[in-house]
Amino acid sequence: MGAKQLSLFEDVNEKEVRRTVARELKQYKALRVAIQNKEELDKEGITPLFSSLTTKEKEKELKARQIERALKYALDDIEREIIEKKYLSSARIKDVNLYLEMNLTKDHYYYHKRQAILLMATALGII
């Protein structure tokens, strides 16, 4: 009889989780800019320069803060670096370039990337 592996995470569709987390992280970059722009307008006492098609300002701020909290507290240093360089940088970077840059083996890199995505998904309530 084979030993059953214990897992911190329940069985999930990892491909769908990965897509969802990646989408949220890409949106986070825009949310961060939107929040900075709003703060700048508020500081200058200027009304918004662009017309808004949505009234979900509080939800956007909450979403950005929760992603920031997940990045800060749910991940270790290696996992955070992978997420930041892979999903939050302005340049597109391939996994192979990233694990070589970080001096990680391919297996070690993908292990940490998988853990980081699952931890982000858990912290954000996606899974």
Sign of CA dihedral 78, 28, 118, 68: positive
Residues 6+ apart with CB under 8 A from 26: 87
pTM for this structure? Answer: 0.80
**pLDDT given for residue 46 in this prediction:** 84
- Grouping H, G, I as helix, E, B as strand and the rest as coil, residue 122 is helix
- Domain locations along the chain: 15-47+55-123
Q: Name residues of the chain where pLDDT drops below 50.
A: 1-3, 5
Give the span between the Cα atoms of 68 and 88, in whole angstroms. Answer: 11
> What is the per-residue pLDDT across 9-46, written as a single tens digit (0 to 9) for each?
567 789 999 999 999 999 998 999 988 988 898 898 88
How far from the centroid of its chain's Cα atoms is residue 93's Cα?
15
